């Protein structure tokens, strides 16, 4: 069926409301817009679905939500009646249509005889992971597009361990979506009827309280917070999202007296009116928090993204201005602090381990080596970290105390299997108070770590490839790098090439190939003779190829020079 035929079918379908049909009628004369909406289904990947919200096969709307949920329901039904009884936890964030989409998930699950538990209103992403584990659910769905712009929404899927869906289950859903008709295959029960029938249970404060009890268990030094509580000040912003309630709550329970919340961004709003992008990775979003911090004399600023799974920090520099910490820097600070705090309290496990992704700074490995903690790499994505954590702990090989990735995601404790801004906020704030008690800012603390562990610098470049041919450009770039393997980059010899697709590692000088433990991901890694690592991988959720530069050197200046040189080279990959 052509995109034109698909458009006509949607336009005349009884499944569409009058408002939806009017929206499609409004683009009747715009062939390019029709093609962009109907040229193909929105692809169900390992992270689920994510796209802009409008009526069409290639976008997020109730029909695509129903279609995906029907496929997911069929995967759950295939697990047998006992799995079905366990039910599905459902959550949503602050985005427009979030509640509507979440209730549609429940309605379709109910139509298939699968019970659901849905929160009474928006909640942080880590809480749905927690709820799956706490209530023994077989799976979970979170309606969120994380830190994407306001036009986006998404459909994130979880399995029984509370981690995002493993690849084989994601593939099974994608296959069923391909076979099932977007309208005719869907079995659905009215949401309110499903509540009356006992197929939908509402979760509320009782689940929050169980979650918060676990979060507070990650506090290791409330005494240091108490010592500085009268003087220590911080500013918090949820960027109009789900962290607005639970993050200030855990900080108050920690004993922080001066949690100053940015009032405009404490307002829940899926249009994110005060920021171009609600992403704590983007420093410009913190402008209101910086103004408030200067006015109040705050010691540091903490921000969480709309679904409260990522957290970003700004800290006071030597000149009193606030400086953004990268995800790598924040993670290294927290890793070092968690290890140190557990040592001081005598609770560091003998087989303590930490996890990071292959694109995360190697400084984290150095921190672990110096402190006698094992460090393991995983692919990008917390489902892989959850998988590794489960494997290490079930075998007794290691007890994971900290997991993180460079894109501002951190996971601690045993009660979630996804990145968790609520717990990260607690630990980061306790850490800031600890250094404050020593007369230091977090900027000072970072310089102390560089002096102890060596100088490192990182940069991530996003080679955006939009449009209908974007995916083709991305595929062509990766294919070209494999067909003509690089022997030098920016004039520096490549010593080792790693291809995580087939798990091969090649010594460039000898041509000797060996197999790595990790394989099955479209990622290329180059180790250079000057100690730099370069990683190239396509994004799984956006039309871009990411290039990661991980540099180390004898000085900050040397590291910065390497980063600049390889960043210039990476730009040439756009073609």
- DSSP for 404-429, please give it: EETTTEEE-SSS-SS--HHHHHHHHH
Between strands 399-405 and 374-378, the pairing is unpaired
Please indicate whether residue 217 or residue 167 has the higher confidence score (pLDDT): 217
475-489 per-position pLDDT tens digit: 999 999 999 999 999
Catalytic residue from among 36, 129, 146, 403: 146
Residue 278's Cβ-count burial label (10 Å; 0-12, 13-18, 19+) is buried
Mean pLDDT value of segment 240-266: 98
Neighbours of 11 (CB within 10 A): 17
d(CA 245, CA 226): 22
Question: Mean pLDDT, the chain, as a whole number?
Answer: 96
Q: Which of 53-57, 147-151, 560-564 shows the lowest per-residue confidence on average (mean pLDDT)?
A: 147-151
Homologous superfamily assigned to 40-203 = Alpha-D-Glucose-1,6-Bisphosphate, subunit A, domain 3 (3.40.120.10)
d(CA 533, CA 548): 8
Mean pLDDT value of segment 437-452: 97
d(CA 535, CA 550): 8
Closest CA to 279 of 212, 324, 335, 234: 324
Task: Report pLDDT for 543.
Answer: 82
CA dihedral 110, 113, 114, 115 (to 10 degrees): 60
Residue 381's Cβ-count burial label (10 Å; 0-12, 13-18, 19+) is buried
Q: Indicate the DSSP class of residue 509.
A: T
Domain ranges for the chain, please list them. 40-203, 212-453, 455-574
Residue 408's Cβ-count burial label (10 Å; 0-12, 13-18, 19+) is buried
Closest CA to 128 of 154, 82, 97, 164: 164
Q: Which two tokens stand for residue 83?
A: 């799995």
- 471 falls in which pLDDT band (50, 70, 90)? confident
Quickly tell me which residue has 């704030």 as its tokens.
429
Q: Which of 277-291, 292-306, 338-352, 539-553 shows the lowest per-residue confidence on average (mean pLDDT)?
A: 539-553
E-strand ranges in 2-129 read 49-52, 88-92, 116-119
Neighbours of 256 (CB within 10 A): 23
Closest CA to 216 of 247, 170, 184: 247
**Three-state DSSP state, 239:** coil
Please, what's the b/e burial string for 215-251 (b: 16 or more CB within 10 A of its CB; e: otherwise)? beebbbbeebbebbeeebbbbbbbbbbbbbbbbbbbb
CA 359 to chain centre: 14
Domains 40-203 and 212-453 agree in fold: yes
Q: Which two tokens stand for residue 435?
A: 């250094």
Q: What is the DSSP track for 260-286? A: EE-TGGGS--TT-TT-SS--TT-GGGG
Kindly report the length of the chain.
Answer: 575
d(CA 344, CA 171): 46
503-540 per-position pLDDT tens digit: 999 999 999 999 999 999 999 999 999 999 999 999 87
d(CA 484, CA 457): 28
- Our answer to whether residue 14 is catalytic in this structure is no
Closest CA to 6 of 28, 39, 36, 30: 39
What percent of the chain clears pLDDT 90, i.e. is strictly above it? 94
CATH class of segment(s) 212-453? alpha beta
| Architecture in CATH for domain 455-574 | 2-Layer Sandwich (3.30)
366-397 per-position pLDDT tens digit: 999 999 999 999 999 899 999 999 999 999 99
Q: Indicate the DSSP class of residue 163.
A: S
Q: Which two tokens stand for residue 314?
A: 């700004």
Q: Which two tokens stand for residue 384?
A: 């892989």
Task: Report pLDDT for 470.
Answer: 82
Task: Report pLDDT for 541.
Answer: 67
Q: Which two tokens stand for residue 197?
A: 């029938």
Question: Does position 167 have pLDDT exceeding 90, yes or no?
Answer: no
**Three-state DSSP state, 375:** strand
d(CA 523, CA 521): 6
Closest CA to 350 of 342, 360, 358: 342
- The phi, psi pair for 66, rounded to 5°, reads -65, -45
Query: Are the beta carbons of 559 and 553 closer than 8 angstroms?
Result: yes
- 443 falls in which pLDDT band (50, 70, 90)? very high
How open is the CA angle 206-212-217, to the nearest 5 degrees? 135
């Amino acid at each position: 069926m052509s995109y034109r035929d698909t458009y006509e079918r949607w336009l005349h379908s009884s499944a569409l409301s009058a408002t939806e049909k009017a929206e499609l009628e409004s683009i009747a004369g715009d062939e390019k817009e029709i093609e962009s909406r109907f040229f193909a289904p929105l692809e169900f990947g390992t992270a689920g679905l994510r796209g802009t919200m409008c009526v069409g096969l290639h976008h997020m709307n109730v029909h695509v939500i129903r279609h995906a949920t029907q496929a997911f329901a069929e995967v759950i039904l295939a697990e047998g009646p006992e799995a079905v009884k366990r039910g599905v936890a459902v959550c949503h964030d602050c985005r427009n249509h979030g509640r509507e989409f979440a209730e549609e998930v429940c309605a379709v699950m109910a139509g298939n005889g699968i019970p659901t538990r849905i929160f009474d209103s928006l909640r942080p992403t880590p809480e749905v992971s927690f709820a799956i584990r706490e209530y023994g659910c077989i799976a979970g769905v979170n309606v969120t597009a994380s830190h994407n712009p306001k036009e986006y929404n998404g459909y994130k899927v979880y399995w029984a361990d509370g981690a995002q869906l493993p690849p084989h289950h994601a593939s099974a859903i994608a296959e069923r979506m391909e076979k099932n008709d977007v309208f005719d295959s869907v079995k659905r029960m009215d949401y309110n009827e499903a509540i009356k029938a006992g197929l939908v249970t509402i979760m509320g404060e009782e689940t929050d309280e169980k979650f918060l009890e676990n979060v507070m268990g990650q506090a290791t030094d409330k005494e240091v917070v108490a010592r500085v509580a009268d003087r220590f000040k911080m500013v918090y912003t949820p960027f109009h999202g789900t962290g607005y309630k639970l993050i200030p709550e855990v900080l108050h329970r920690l004993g922080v007296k001066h949690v100053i919340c940015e009032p405009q961004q404490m307002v829940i709003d899926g249009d994110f009116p005060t920021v171009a992008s609600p992403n704590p990775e983007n420093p410009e979003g913190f402008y209101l928090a910086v103004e408030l911090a200067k006015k109040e004399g705050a010691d540091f600023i903490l921000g969480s993204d709309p679904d409260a799974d990522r957290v970003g920090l700004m800290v006071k520099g030597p000149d009193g201005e606030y400086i953004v910490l990268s995800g790598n820097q924040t993670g290294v600070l927290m890793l070092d602090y968690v290890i140190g705090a557990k040592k001081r309290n005598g609770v560091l496990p003998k087989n303590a381990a930490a996890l990071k992704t292959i694109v995360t700074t190697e400084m984290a490995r150095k921190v672990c080596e110096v402190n006698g903690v094992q460090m393991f790499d995983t692919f990008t994505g917390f489902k892989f970290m959850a998988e590794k954590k489960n494997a290490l702990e079930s075998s007794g090989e290691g007890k994971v105390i900290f997991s993180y990735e460079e894109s501002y995601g951190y996971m601690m404790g045993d009660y979630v299997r996804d990145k968790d801004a609520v717990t990260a906020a607690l630990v980061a704030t306790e850490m800031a108070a600890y250094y404050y008690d020593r007369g230091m800012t977090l900027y000072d603390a970072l310089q102390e770590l560089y002096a102890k562990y060596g100088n490192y610098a990182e940069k991530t470049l996003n080679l955006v490839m939009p449009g209908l041919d974007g995916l083709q450009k991305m595929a062509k770039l990766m294919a070209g790098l494999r067909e003509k393997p690089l022997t030098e980059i920016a004039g520096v010899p490549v010593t080792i090439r790693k291809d995580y697709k087939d798990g091969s590692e090649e010594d460039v000088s000898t041509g000797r190939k060996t197999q790595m433990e990790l394989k099955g991901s479209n990622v290329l890694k180059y180790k250079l003779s000057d100690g730099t690592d370069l990683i190239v991988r396509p994004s799984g959720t956006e039309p871009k190829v990411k290039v990661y530069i991980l540099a180390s050197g004898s000085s900050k200046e040397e590291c910065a020079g390497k980063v600049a040189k390889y960043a210039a080279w990476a730009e040439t990959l756009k073609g």
